[in-house]
């Protein structure tokens, strides 16, 4: 695709939402809502749950439900979905990452990895009940 002849457009300013796919929405509700502390604000039984994260949203879908075309003509969201582990990274100061680590370990969640990047930023990785990689990193990771 040649892009040099396309009309100009500004790039996006931020990520508004990101999606993870799980087979068990109840387990996801416990992990992301009760354990991690995200605020759920929309649930469709057997299909999805949405959580607020500041100005963004974490969408948690069952892939077999979102791969089917919608029946709602007013909201023609195209079918989508993914299989296998995804990844999400939550921004937290180092002290809060330490507190989250202690909470996760106390809940029986194993740490996949924990280290400081070459720029000194700290990251902690765990797995959600569906096997998705969940990272907690200091906000200046990409500065």
pLDDT digits (tens, 9 = 90+) for 92-122: 999 999 999 999 999 999 999 999 999 999 9
Query: What distance in Å separates the CA atoms of residue 32 and residue 84, rounded to the nearest whole number?
Result: 18
Q: Does 127 have pLDDT greater than 90?
A: yes
Retrieve residue 111's tokens.
């740490």
In a domain, residue 95? The reply is yes
Sheet holding 56-61, edge to edge: 17-21, 56-61, 48-53, 39-44
Return the pLDDT at 92. 95
Instruction: Specify the pTM.
Output: 0.92
In a domain, residue 12? The reply is no
Mean pLDDT of the region 5-28: 91
Query: What distance in Å separates the CA atoms of residue 67 and residue 36, rounded to the nearest whole number?
Result: 27
In a domain, residue 74? The reply is no
Return the pLDDT at 16. 92
Distance (Å) of CA 26 to CA 10, 49, 75, 128, 131: 39, 10, 25, 12, 15
pLDDT digits (tens, 9 = 90+) for 32-53: 999 999 999 999 999 999 999 9
In a domain, residue 143? The reply is no
* pLDDT over 70, % of the chain: 100
Q: What is the CATH number of the domain that holds 43?
A: 3.10.180.10
The tally of domains found in the chain comes to 1
Q: Which domain holds residue 112?
A: 17-68+85-137
In a domain, residue 79? The reply is no
In a domain, residue 22? The reply is yes
In a domain, residue 142? The reply is no
Q: Which residues of 113-133 are buried (b: 16+ CB within 10 A; e: fewer)?
A: eeeeeeeebbbbbbebbbebb
In a domain, residue 5? The reply is no
């Amino acid at each position: 695709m040649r892009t040099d002849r396309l009309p100009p457009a500004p790039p996006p300013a931020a990520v508004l939402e990101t999606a993870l796919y799980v087979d068990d929405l109840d387990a996801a509700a416990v992990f992301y809502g009760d354990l991690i502390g995200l605020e759920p604000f929309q649930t469709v039984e057997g299909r999805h749950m949405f959580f607020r994260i500041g100005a963004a949203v974490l969408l948690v879908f069952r892939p077999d439900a979102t791969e089917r075309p919608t029946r709602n003509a007013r909201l023609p969201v195209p079918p989508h979905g993914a299989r296998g582990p995804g990844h999400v990274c939550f921004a937290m100061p180092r002290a809060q990452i330490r507190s989250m680590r202690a909470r996760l370990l106390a809940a029986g969640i194993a740490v996949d990895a924990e280290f400081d990047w070459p720029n000194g930023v700290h990251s902690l990785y765990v797995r959600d009940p569906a096997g998705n990689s969940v990272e907690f990193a200091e906000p200046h990771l990409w500065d």
